Structure 1
Amino acid sequence: MKTSSTHQINKHRSAIIKYFLPSLFLSLPLFLFLLSLQSGHRRTTTVTTTIQAKPKPGSGDLLRIRPGYSSYDNYIQRQLNKTLNPKLRQIWTTRDWDRKIKVFSRFFDELKRQSLLSNDSRALCIGARVGQEVEALRRIGVSDSVGIDLVPYPPLVVKGDFHNQPFRNESFDFEFSNVFDHALFPEKFVAEIERTLRPGGVCVLHVSISRRADKYSANDLYSSEPLVQLFKSSDLVHVKKIDGFGLDTEVVFRKREN
Structure 2
Amino acid sequence: MKEAINQSRLPTPKTIFLSLIILSLFILIFLSLQSHNSLQKPISTNPTHGLKIRPGYTSYDTYIHHQLQKTTNPKLRKIWTTRDWARKIRVFQRFFNRLKQEKLLSTTSKALCIGARVGQEVEALKRVGVNNSIGLDLVPYPPNVIKGDFHYQPFDDETFDFEFSNVFDHALYPDKFVGEIQRTLKIGGICVLHVAVSRRSDKYSANDLYSVEPLKMLFNGSELVRSRKVDGFGLDTEVVFRKKKS
RMSD (Å) for aligned C-alpha atoms = 1.4
**Identical-residue share of aligned pairs (%):** 71
Deviation at 1:213, TM superposition (A): 4.2
- The equivalent position to 2:229 in structure 1, one of 241, 249, 254, is 241
Q: Does 1:217 align with 2:205?
A: yes
Equivalent position amino acid for 2:167 in 1:
V
Question: In 2, Cα distance between the equivalents of 1:139 and 1:219?
Answer: 32
- Which residue pairs with 2:111 in the alignment? 123
Is residue 53 of structure 2 the alignment partner of residue 65 of structure 1? yes
Distance 1:107 1:214 in 2: 23
Structure 2 counterpart of 1:199, from 179, 187, 211: 187
The DSSP-based 3-state class of the residue aligned with 2:123 is: helix
Amino acid of the structure 1 residue aligned with 2:103: S
CA distance in 1, matches of 2:210, 2:198: 7
Q: Is the 1:206–1:249 contact (alpha carbons within 8 Å) kept by the matching residues of 2?
A: yes
Q: Distance in 2 between matches of 1:184 and 1:192?
A: 14
Structure 2 residue runs without a partner (length 5+): 1-45
Match of 1:36 in 2: none
- Counterpart mapping for 1:29-68 below 5 A: 60-68=48-56
Secondary structure of the residue that 1:174 maps to in structure 2? strand
2:172 matched residue in structure 1:
184
Q: Paired residue for 2:75, among 87, 96, 110?
A: 87
The one of 133, 144, 149 equivalent to 1:161 is 149
The alignment's TM-score, normalised by the length of structure 1, stands at: 0.77
Query: Counterpart in 2 of 1:253?
Result: 241
Q: Give the letter for the 2:184 counterpart.
A: T
1:210 deviation in Å? 3.2
Mapped to 2, the partners of 1:137 and 1:180 lie a distance apart of 19
Deviation at 1:212, TM superposition (A): 1.9
Matched with 1:101 is: 89
Aligned partner of 2:139 in structure 1 is: 151
Mapped partners of 1:75, 1:139: distance in 2: 34
Aligned residue in 2 for 1:26: none
Offset of 1:257 from its aligned partner? 2.9
Q: C-alpha distance in 2, partners of 1:196/1:182?
A: 19
Read off the aligned partner of 2:145 and give its amino acid letter: V
Where do 5+ consecutive residues of structure 1 fail to align? 1-55
Deviation string 1:167-214 (CA, Å, 9 cap, x unpaired) is: 000000000000000000000000000000000000000000134241
The separation in 2 between residues aligned to 1:213 and 1:150, in whole angstroms, is: 22
Q: Which structure has the bigger radius of gyration?
A: 1
Q: Which runs of 4+ in 1 moved over 4 A?
A: none
Per the normalisation by structure 2, the TM-score is 0.80
Instruction: Give the letter aligned to residue 205 of structure 1.
Output: L
Partners of 1:181 and 1:213 within 8 A in 2: no
